[in-house]
């Protein structure tokens, strides 16, 4: 604990110095310890939650890799402290989307799609700390109570609207739907702000860089823009639309997260190397999960932002797969280049030779392509598609 | 490739079944299956998935732990009582961990998928598959979880397994008023309280589904011992070889 | 973040009135029939059901016990530039396309990517890919498995061929517990019977 003290003292000093305008998040309140649910709603929710955790623990989608689990747990403990950490069970889910959640009984779920998008340990700490903030403040209960009165109102109004089937009535029902949901989201956004606030408090007190919390959202905004651009959609308006409507708009969020972070923390380690090391065994799988979602803009953005710290064979190969699967003629030329770059760096990367071979064959270079495919089978004699690839070898331009 | 979320379809059908009142089949027995009275068979029961709560006006399910606990205990007592009448012994499955727990969950998921397929494609008249229509005429009810069930924890000590799924929501006052208004008005059926129960008997050697009761609008307030008895009575009333008397009216 | 709300549950029955009676059609054993509005004909060796709802313009689904338990989908002549199944939103949720450059050996990746994008899956693995005849042409036979949102792990087997620039394929998906093994022979017999006019 003594290690934390100087950081906390530093944060406190800064807080009082800049108290008037930009408030750095104060240290978290003393941990209240083990909590037991109270009241009908809460006890009921915990029971459901326990049942759902039983199912989750037996789910085929949970990643059970001990090393990865130990690493994520360790980052959580580093962020929120050992006492708080004890009340949490972490489940890493193989799901290619951006999500993390923590439920009232202490079940923390984080999706592989989120791990893929984070760039360092401090960002992971920020997300885990944010989720823990919801838990410590028992937001689920509040959200549940608010949602209940919100849906009650909707059921009534839907009935009234259908009893008077004029266009006006329908329109006012639609308006009401928006406003009722709007208030649900606003309510929930307050929760999100509170959790953000607490999340940064933990980070300010930890050894990790608190500014990472803002960089997570800056990263996500960049990705959503890239995704929209590639689909020919309008640029998302981040001050109006949040990525999951119940969260504070990302632009606003990134801004206030920056203010909450203790400035002295900016010089701290962000643990990027440790994070990359821990994710390395899973990176090819997580990248492949993402690429096959067919969201070209988002995938390209993710690969490029991972490559900011240097292009690796895995990243070149992922980019090759991305372009080859889209499959426009120019994409195939690019794909071949990317695979070339991958095997230059790692001449044992069998799957890159496969992608290279297929791309070359498709761009009218069958003999070069066949040479690459031969290399693929040489490096990976038990390949799942061995028989097929072998059939492609002696004849030119097979497959069409 | 299945394009619709199965859960959505199931929810639609379940609502339709219970919202629009018509004669909907709800139980079936595998051809040739008979369970003699006092046959001294052992029946394995996996953790009954019971969840009880209230339904708010908007239709949101509000779990209630106290009710759930009471209901579980009530249902188990009622089960044991009725099974003694049938001359069979209930064995509660041992708590499973790790790989065993995953296996139990996957079979539970399969049982639930089968129950939904039976409801969607064999019981539900408007959506019945042609081959299931022919099966119905020939008295065939052929569904199975497969012989792999023999490896489930506790399976060696029993002849059959009883899978139970229950979900209850008791309508709040607001919802009951809404229901009355809706009936006066545009003819939208608003449910007050959702009561779903599936019970299935599985042969632990072959995995065959011997008997299924899949009722999406079932009676009995499982918060009370009497109500639980009624629920179990309804779930088991068509149980093969059953001496349990049917309720005159549901 | 991704919580589904059960709002307005009471209104759902109204939607249901749209369901018509006798929607599905019998496919009788021994009777040759055209599938997926294409030149493909099959002669089933047992009775099957053809579902009323089509997953795409050039696709149709057959089942024995319900799509949860066994699902055969025919893709009849997908032309370059088209996805395998109908997109929910062309703009916002585009599906991967079959292209003029797609090789037969890449068809498993196309199916994988379609399933993943449509269902938001991560757990999907292509197990094997081997050359095989389909519709009398050189094609591919492949196997795969994936875990669905109902927590059941399903196994799949498919055959495909690219003929005159269009993709022809038939897939079989079923839970790995019991149902896959139980009906795989029926599926193979059905796939073997497929002919292109």
Domain regions of chain B by residue span: 14-236
Q: Between these two residues, A187 and B139, which has the higher pLDDT value?
A: B139
Structure tokens at B174: 């607001």
Phi, psi of A173 (to 5 degrees): -65, -45
Any idea of the CA torsion for A124, C2, B120, B190, to the nearest 10 degrees? Answer: 150
Cα–Cα distance for residue pair A187/A199, rounded to 1 Å: 18
| Cβ pair A132, A140 in contact under 8 A | no
pLDDT value at B200 more than 90: no
Chain A residues inside the 8 Å CB shell of C108: 385
Cβ contact, residue pair A152, B53, below 8 Å: no
Give me the pLDDT at residue A355, please. Answer: 97
pLDDT value at B209 more than 70: yes
Mean pLDDT of chain B: 68
Which of A233, A327, A384 faces C127 most closely, judged by CB atoms? A384
Structure tokens at C50: 């053809």
Nearby residues of A54 by Cβ (< 8 Å), 6 or more positions away:
B101
Q: How far is residue C87 CA from its own chain's centroid?
A: 14
Closest-CA distance, C89 to chain B, in angstroms, reads 13
Average pLDDT, integer, range C86-106: 89
Indicate the pairing of strand C124-134 with strand C137-147. antiparallel
- Give C28-55 pLDDT, tens digit per residue: 999 999 999 889 999 999 999 999 888 8
Closest-CA distance, A63 to chain C, in angstroms, reads 11
Burial of C124 (0-12, 13-18, 19+ CB in 10 A): buried
Cα–Cα distance for residue pair A2/A129, rounded to 1 Å: 21
Domains of chain C, first to last: 24-196 (3.40.1000.10)
Which of B68, B106, B185 faces A163 most closely, judged by CB atoms? B185
Cβ contact, residue pair C26, B190, below 8 Å: no
Closest CA to A324 of A312, A308, A301, A340: A340
DSSP for A96-127 reads SS--EEE-TTSEEEEEHHHHHH--SHHHHHHH
Indicate the pairing of strand A107-111 with strand A89-93. parallel
Closest CA to A98 of A301, A394, A315, A276: A301
Q: Considering Cα of B220, then B225, then B226, then B230, what sign does the dihedral take?
A: positive
Closest CA to A46 of A115, A172, A136, A141: A141
Give me the pLDDT at residue A316, please. Answer: 98
Between the CA of residue C75 and those of A388, B9, B129, C135, C169, what are the distances in Å?
21, 23, 22, 12, 5
Residue A242: CB atoms within 10 Å = 20
Between the CA of residue A353 and those of A291, A368, A389, what are the distances in Å?
18, 11, 12
Quote helix, strand, coil % in chain C, to nearest 5: 20, 40, 45
Cβ contact, residue pair C114, B1, below 8 Å: yes
Structure tokens at A247: 């969260």
Quote helix, strand, coil % in chain B, to nearest 5: 40, 20, 35
> At B45, which helix (H) or strand (E)?
strand B42-45
Q: Considering Cα of B76, then B78, then B82, then B84, what sign does the dihedral take?
A: positive
Bridge partners (DSSP) of residue B194 are B169
Cα–Cα distance for residue pair B235/B213, rounded to 1 Å: 6
Alpha-helical segments (H) within A206-295:
212-230, 250-260, 272-279, 283-291
Q: Grade residue B67 by pLDDT with cuts at 50, 70 and 90.
A: low
| Cβ pair A51, A59 in contact under 8 A | no
Give me the pLDDT at residue C139, please. Answer: 95
Residues of chain A with confidence (pLDDT) below 70: 1-22, 34, 40-41, 44-45, 47-48, 51-52, 139-189, 236-250, 395-400
| Cβ pair C98, C128 in contact under 8 A | no
Cα–Cα distance for residue pair B112/B50, rounded to 1 Å: 14
Q: Between these two residues, B170 and B63, which has the higher pLDDT value?
A: B63
Cα–Cα distance for residue pair C95/B146, rounded to 1 Å: 35
| Cβ pair A99, C2 in contact under 8 A | yes
Cα–Cα distance for residue pair C121/C118, rounded to 1 Å: 8
pLDDT value at C87 more than 50: yes
Subunits next to B (3 or more Cβ pairs <8 Å) are: A, C
Give me the pLDDT at residue B237, please. Answer: 67
Nearest CA in chain A to C95: A294
> At A170, which helix (H) or strand (E)?
helix A167-205
Structure tokens at C140: 């591919």
Nearby residues of B207 by Cβ (< 8 Å), 6 or more positions away:
B144, B145, B146, B147, B148, B149, B150, C178
Least confident piece of the model among A336-350, B96-110, B175-189:
B175-189
Subunits next to C (3 or more Cβ pairs <8 Å) are: A, B
Chosen for mutation from C7, C141, C177 (greatest number of chain A CBs closer than 10 Å) is C7
What is the CATH class of A294-392? mainly alpha
Give me the pLDDT at residue C67, please. Answer: 92
- Give C122-176 pLDDT, tens digit per residue: 789 999 999 999 999 999 999 999 998 777 899 999 999 999 999 999 999 999 9
pLDDT value at B19 more than 60: no
Structure tokens at A136: 């410590």
DSSP for A324-377 reads HHH--HHHHHHHHHHHHHHHHH-TT-HHHHHHHHHHHHHTT-HHHHHHHHHHHH
Cα–Cα distance for residue pair C37/B178, rounded to 1 Å: 47
For chain A, the structural domain boundaries read: 2-267, 294-392
Nearest CA in chain A to C132: A388
CB proximity A165 to B under 8 Å: yes
Closest-CA distance, B148 to chain C, in angstroms, reads 8
Cβ contact, residue pair A400, C162, below 8 Å: yes
Burial of A210 (0-12, 13-18, 19+ CB in 10 A): buried
The label of the residue with tokens 């240290």 reads A27
Q: Between these two residues, B236 and B21, which has the higher pLDDT value?
A: B236
Chain A residues inside the 8 Å CB shell of C122: 61, 94-96, 112-113, 289
Cα–Cα distance for residue pair B92/A26, rounded to 1 Å: 52
Q: Between these two residues, B80 and A336, which has the higher pLDDT value?
A: A336
pLDDT value at B208 more than 90: yes
Q: What is the pTM of this model?
A: 0.77
Cβ contact, residue pair B129, C24, below 8 Å: yes
CB proximity C101 to A under 8 Å: yes
Cβ contact, residue pair C117, A292, below 8 Å: yes
Give me the pLDDT at residue A37, please. Answer: 73
Cα–Cα distance for residue pair A316/A327, rounded to 1 Å: 17
CB proximity C112 to B under 8 Å: no
Cα–Cα distance for residue pair B191/B246, rounded to 1 Å: 25
CB proximity C21 to A under 8 Å: no
Between the CA of residue A13 and those of A9, B179, C10, what are the distances in Å?
6, 61, 57
Q: Between these two residues, C119 and A62, which has the higher pLDDT value?
A: A62
């Amino acid at each position: 604990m003594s290690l934390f003290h100087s950081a906390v003292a530093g944060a406190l000093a800064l807080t009082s110095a800049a108290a008037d305008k930009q408030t750095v998040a104060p240290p978290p309140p003393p941990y209240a310890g083990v909590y037991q649910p109270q009241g009908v709603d809460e006890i009921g929710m915990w029971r459901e939650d326990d049942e759902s955790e039983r199912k989750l623990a037996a789910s085929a989608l949970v990643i059970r890799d001990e090393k990865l689990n130990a690493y994520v747990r360790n980052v959580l403990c580093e962020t929120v402290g050992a006492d708080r950490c004890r009340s949490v069970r972490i489940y890493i889910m193989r799901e290619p989307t951006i999500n993390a959640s923590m439920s009232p009984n202490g079940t923390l779920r984080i999706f592989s799609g989120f791990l893929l998008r984070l760039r360092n340990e401090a960002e992971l700490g920020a997300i885990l700390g944010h989720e823990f903030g919801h838990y410590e403040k028992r937001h689920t209960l509040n959200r549940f109570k608010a949602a209940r009165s919100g849906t009650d109102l909707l059921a009534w109004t839907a009935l009234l609207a259908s009893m008077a089937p004029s266009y006006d009535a329908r329109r006012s029902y639609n308006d009401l739907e928006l406003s009722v949901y709007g208030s649900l989201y606003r309510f929930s956004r307050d929760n999100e702000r509170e959790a953000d606030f607490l999340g940064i408090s933990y980070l300010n007190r930890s050894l990790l860089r608190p500014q990472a919390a803002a960089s997570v959202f800056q990263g996500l905004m960049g990705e959503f823009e890239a995704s929209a651009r590639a689909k020919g959609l309008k640029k998302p308006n981040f001050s109006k639309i949040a990525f999951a409507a119940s969260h504070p708009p990302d632009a606003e969020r990134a801004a206030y997260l920056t203010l909450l972070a203790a400035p002295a923390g900016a010089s701290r380690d962000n643990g990027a190397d440790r994070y990359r090391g821990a994710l390395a065994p899973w990176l090819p799988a997580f990248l492949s999960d993402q690429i096959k979602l067919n969201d070209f803009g988002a995938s390209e953005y993710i690969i490029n932002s991972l490559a900011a710290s240097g292009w690796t064979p895995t990243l070149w190969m992922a980019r090759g797969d991305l372009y080859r699967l889209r499959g426009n003629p120019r994409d195939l030329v690019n794909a071949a280049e990317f695979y070339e770059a991958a095997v230059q760096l790692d001449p044992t990367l069998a799957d890159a030779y496969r992608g290279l071979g297929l791309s070359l064959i498709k761009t009218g270079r069958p003999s070069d392509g066949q040479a690459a495919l031969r290399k693929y089978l040489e490096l990976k004699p038990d390949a799942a598609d061995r028989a097929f690839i072998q059939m492609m070898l002696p004849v030119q331009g097979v497959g069409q | 490739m299945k394009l619709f979320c199965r859960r959505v379809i199931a929810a639609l059908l379940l609502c339709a079944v219970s919202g629009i009142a018509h004669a909907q089949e709800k139980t079936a027995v595998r051809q040739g299956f008979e369970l003699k009275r006092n046959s001294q068979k052992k029946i394995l029961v996996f953790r009954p998935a019971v969840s009880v709560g209230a339904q708010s006006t908007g239709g949101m399910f509000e779990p209630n732990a106290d009710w759930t606990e009471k209901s579980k205990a009530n249902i188990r007592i009622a089960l044991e009582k009725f099974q003694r009448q049938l001359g069979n012994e209930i064995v509660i499955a041992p708590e499973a961990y790790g790989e065993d727990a995953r296996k139990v969950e996957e079979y539970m998921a399969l049982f639930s998928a089968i129950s939904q397929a039976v409801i969607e494609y064999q019981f539900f008249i408007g959506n019945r598959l042609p081959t299931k229509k022919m099966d119905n005429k020939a008295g065939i009810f052929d569904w199975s979880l497969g012989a792999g069930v023999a490896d489930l924890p506790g399976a060696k000590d029993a002849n059959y397994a009883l899978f139970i799924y229950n979900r209850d929501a008791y309508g709040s006052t607001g919802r009951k008023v809404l229901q009355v208004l809706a009936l006066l008005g545009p003819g939208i059926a608003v449910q007050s309280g959702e009561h779903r129960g599936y019970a299935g008997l599985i042969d632990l050697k072959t995995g065959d589904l011997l008997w299924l009761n899949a009722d999406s609008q079932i009676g009995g307030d499982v918060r009370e011992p009497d109500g639980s008895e009624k629920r179990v009575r309804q779930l088991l009333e068509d149980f093969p070889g059953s001496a349990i008397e049917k309720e005159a009216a549901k | 973040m991704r919580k589904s709300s059960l709002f307005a549950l009471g209104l759902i029955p109204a939607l249901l009135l749209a369901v018509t009676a006798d929607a599905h059609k019998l496919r009788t054993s021994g009777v040759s029939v055209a599938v997926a509005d294409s030149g493909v004909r099959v002669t089933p060796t047992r009775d099957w059901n053809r579902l009323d709802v089509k997953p795409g313009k050039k696709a149709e689904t057959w089942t024995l016990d319900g799509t949860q338990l066994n699902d055969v989908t025919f893709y009849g002549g997908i032309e370059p530039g088209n996805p395998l199944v109908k997109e929910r939103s062309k703009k916002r949720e585009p599906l991967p396309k079959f292209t003029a450059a797609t090789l037969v050996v890449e068809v498993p990746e196309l199916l994988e990517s379609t399933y993943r994008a449509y269902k938001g899956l991560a757990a999907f693995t292509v197990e094997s890919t081997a050359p095989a005849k389909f519709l009398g042409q050189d094609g591919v036979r492949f196997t795969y498995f994936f875990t669905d949102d109902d927590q059941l792990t399903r196994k799949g087997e498919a055959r495909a061929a690219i003929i005159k620039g269009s993709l022809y394929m038939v897939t079989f998906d079923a839970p790995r517990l019991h149902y896959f093994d139980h009906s795989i022979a029926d599926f193979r017999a059905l796939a073997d019977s497929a002919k292109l006019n």
